[in-house]
Structure 1
Amino acid sequence: MSARHAAGRPCPQEPGSPPRPVLDVRRLTKSYGIGTARVQALREVSLEVEAGDFVAIMGSSGSGKSTLMNILGCLDVPTGGRYLLDGTDVSRLDERQLSLVRNRRIGFVFQSFNLIPRTAALANVELPMAYAGVARAERRSRALAALKVVGLAERADHRPNELSGGQQQRVAVARALVTSPALILADEPTGNLDSRSTEDVLDVFSQLNDLGRTIVLITHEDEVAARARRVIRLVDGRIVQDDRMAPPVTAVPEYGSETPDVDREVVR
């Protein structure tokens, strides 16, 4: 496999073949420690996530959901099994290629926002493109479009300490989608938010999913998982539930009417 494909472009498919899943996890295992201290965090986990799906992965502390998230985000490697991201077997990639995959094919949203404190929202959103070598003018255009998607274009010059928690998380979502990743991976994205801000952020995820974005969300909250289209539950490193949910009826934010055109600008 070439570094070009690893650098963020999906591998070619045979004409007429069925669409491949964005995530293809096959009998994944992960263990830590040795001997009597050995802990089995994942036990032959297998799942597929199709393009455009919205999946919530649930589980209590120690269930293996954080370990699975780290593997899906190419932040850790499994002990056994295979993981294909958008057709790429990530186990065959070197560190440089994995770094490129993380930057270009996965959009991360974390509980703690991970914004640079003394940097404006616009510059925070530009960061993944700066690492990818995108020209400054294009970075600015695409970052502004991404902020418009999440309803924060008018806050582009505000620093994180000038934004509410919900607004900071929406900036983080804009940063996650600005490189047009194959997958948006969100780890407890509403864990630090009040109920109103939680609804605002979940509305943004729903809007993005309606536009075809693939989202995998890690959560322990039933109310958050209820916004997904599919819920997977882990217990002791095994999948014990995998249910397709009825689509929720949610209010559309005021900025939603402009989202489709702006999203096309971001992903060009």
Structure 2
Amino acid sequence: MTSPFGPRADQLAADRPVLDRPVADSPAIDRLAAGRPVLDVRRLTKVYGEGEAAVHALRGVSAVVERGDYVAIMGSSGSGKSTLMHILGCLDVPSSGQYLLDGLDVSQLNDRQLALVRNRRIGFVFQSFNLIARSSAVANVELPLAYAGVKGAERRRRALAALDLVGLADRADHEPNQLSGGQQQRVAVARALVTEPALVLADEPTGNLDSRSTADVLAIFDDLNAAGRTIVLITHETEVGERAKRLIKLFDGQISSDVRQDRAGRHTVRSAEQPTMRLERIS
């Protein structure tokens, strides 16, 4: 199974120059101009199988997500939202079309380069948390940094900062079985943030949570977006989709609607006077 955290740092050394070189006439990807879209997908299709057995999961999907946006993607089972999520997360490739992630043409990358993109450009939040059972919260948050080759003391510092960002600094040494479901998901959010990714990609992040924990996690997403982070969230829950600034609905592999909306129930964890902590992008 493809890991969203990427292969070991020593396996990626040869591919770093490819990802760090300028894209067109822009600076290197770590210093892209603020105006460049985080996501730009153009006429994406995805077909499984061939002939009469072919399943057209995506049929010409096009969308642009600007830096600092908060987008929810909704659709019923079979709409194509899971397929789109896997393509956006560089876990799968389209049958045709183009995908630019933070200005980088994903189709031009080999498997190891894609792994590096997943590690550095995307922070994943999963429905099932995907925490390592016998590791502490801080060790779980450190994992993407370990794959990236960040040294131990620096990993710990950044992981603790990320846990503080989601309100779990006092739970750093707790293992997953010592945390509630909502707290485990907040650890997963901290892990997604620790590399300072261009995109936070959340796949049904509230699917295994009760109503109170759902509210807590959504408040963190509100706060993160208010601080300028780009979030794309896949959900089947209407109340979750309504929290985003923009709602895209898929039907039968196509975008059936794409609208800006007033954010229902939006609030942030931090007060307006409290400074927002910044994490550091891995180099």
Residue 139 of structure 2 corresponds to 123
**1:21 to partner: Cα distance:** 0.8
Of the candidates 130, 135, 141, which is equivalent to residue 114 of structure 1?
Answer: 130
Superposed CA RMSD in Å reads 2.2
SS of 1:31's equivalent? Answer: strand
Normalising by structure 2, report the TM-score: 0.88
Deviates more, 1:2-11 or 1:225-234: 2-11
1:171–1:199 Cα change, 3 Å? same
Residue 255 of structure 2 corresponds to 239
AA of the residue aligned to 1:39: V
- Residues 179-233 of structure 1, C-alpha deviation per residue, up to 9 Å, x if partnerless? 0001000000000000000000000111110111100000011100011000000
- Residues 93-140 of structure 1, C-alpha deviation per residue, up to 9 Å, x if partnerless? 001100000111000000000000000000000000000000111111
AA of the residue aligned to 2:206: T
**1:34 to partner: Cα distance:** 1.1
Of the candidates 266, 269, 282, which is equivalent to residue 250 of structure 1?
Answer: 266
1:206–1:13 Cα change, 3 Å? farther
Alignment of 1:1-268 (within 5 A): 3-4=15-16, 7=19, 11=23, 14=26, 19-253=35-269, 260=276, 262=277, 264-267=278-281
1:72–1:156 Cα change, 3 Å? same
SS of 2:41's equivalent? Answer: strand
SS of 2:219's equivalent? Answer: helix
**1:253 to partner: Cα distance:** 2.6
Normalising by structure 1, report the TM-score: 0.92
**1:258 to partner: Cα distance:** 5.0
**1:36 to partner: Cα distance:** 1.0
Q: Unaligned regions of 5+ residues in structure 1, if any?
A: none
SS of 1:71's equivalent? Answer: helix
Native 8 Å contact 1:10 1:87 kept in 2: no
Within 1, Cα distance between the matches of 2:90 and 2:250? 19
Native 8 Å contact 2:196 2:279 kept in 1: no
Q: Unaligned regions of 5+ residues in structure 2, if any?
A: 1-13, 28-32
